[in-house]
Structure 1
Amino acid sequence: MQNTTSQYSNCIRCGRHLTSAKSRAIGYGPTCARKIRTATTFVSSRTDYSPDQVDSACQLIEDGGILPLRSVIFLTVSTDGTELHRTAPTGCNCKAGLKGGRCYHQLAARMLLAA
């Protein structure tokens, strides 16, 4: 899912200008990346999501497949990269979310908001 040719000029999380090549490649500055790693560890250890969902949520964040739209609404990419979903910590319009289930998109949103 990760497109290695894309470069971010601003941090996906806070919007600040990215200066290092590594930061531009991943889409997060060093401070935001550290906060996301800390929040990911904290949130994933205190939820009853499956380990596969935790891994998928972490991968979604690492790939830059979740972008903030509004204060608690995010735009997320499907597993196969063909669909976009609107996601909040409490709901998602993916198939699992529409059925009332909890999806890894919601977990990724929770992780980013906890950061």
Structure 2
Amino acid sequence: MQNTTTDQARCLHCHRVLTSAKSIALGYGPRCARKIRNAAVDLTDYKPHQITSARELIADAAIIPLRSVIFIAVSTDGTETYRTAPTACTCPAGLKGSRCYHSLAARLLLAA
């Protein structure tokens, strides 16, 4: 008996099947990627490097939905993961009560 199942890449946002190589590499379909880029989130409390890091986190598909508002985010060096939400994060900055780019990435994803 031969196993004929295949794994299909799915959008991390809407869970639709991804077909193009670019979408598969990004982890998001073109519509979801556009929604995330254009998400209306108040960025005034964040520093420019945090905004850039949050967008990179999303572009690298290094933040993955776990539950409705909870995500798993990978650290910058890729050695640790953090539970993050729009208002809190388990990263060192988040544990100190500071705003971190992981939480900003979660906000951007939820706003899309």
Q: TM-score, normalised by structure 1?
A: 0.87
Report whether the alignment pairs 1:65 with 2:49: no
Q: Provide the C-alpha distance between the structure 2 equivalents of 1:47 and 1:68, rounded to a whole number of angstroms.
A: 25
Count of residue correspondences: 105
Deviation at 1:25, TM superposition (A): 1.1
Structure 2 letter corresponding to 1:98: L
Q: Provide the C-alpha distance between the structure 1 equivalents of 2:93 and 2:23, rounded to a whole number of angstroms.
A: 32
Structure 1 letter corresponding to 2:73: T
SS in 1 for 2:82: strand
SS in 1 for 2:36: helix
Structure (1/2) with the larger helix percentage:
1
Deviation at 1:20, TM superposition (A): 1.1
Which residue does the alignment assign to 2:41? Answer: 43
The correspondence of residues 3-14 of structure 1 with structure 2, limited to 5 A, is 9-14=9-14
Of 90, 93, 99, which aligns to 1:93? Answer: 90
Deviation at 1:110, TM superposition (A): 0.2
Deviation at 1:47, TM superposition (A): 2.7
Deviation at 1:111, TM superposition (A): 0.3
SS in 1 for 2:98: coil
Q: Which runs of 5+ in 1 are unaligned?
A: 1-7
Q: String of CA shifts for 1:66-108, please: whole Å, max 9, x gaps.
A: 0000000000000111000000000000000011111000000
SS in 1 for 2:41: helix
Q: Which runs of 5+ in 2 are unaligned?
A: 1-7
Query: What percent of counterpart residues are identical?
Result: 68
Q: Provide the C-alpha distance between the structure 2 equivalents of 1:21 and 1:80, rounded to a whole number of angstroms.
A: 25
Q: Provide the C-alpha distance between the structure 1 equivalents of 2:61 and 2:31, rounded to a whole number of angstroms.
A: 16
Which residue does the alignment assign to 1:81? Answer: 78
Q: Provide the C-alpha distance between the structure 2 equivalents of 1:20 and 1:110, rounded to a whole number of angstroms.
A: 26
Q: Provide the C-alpha distance between the structure 2 equivalents of 1:88 and 1:47, rounded to a whole number of angstroms.
A: 18
SS in 1 for 2:104: helix
Which residue does the alignment assign to 1:17? Answer: 17
Structure 2 letter corresponding to 1:91: A
SS in 2 for 1:54: helix
Q: Provide the C-alpha distance between the structure 2 equivalents of 1:37 and 1:67, rounded to a whole number of angstroms.
A: 16
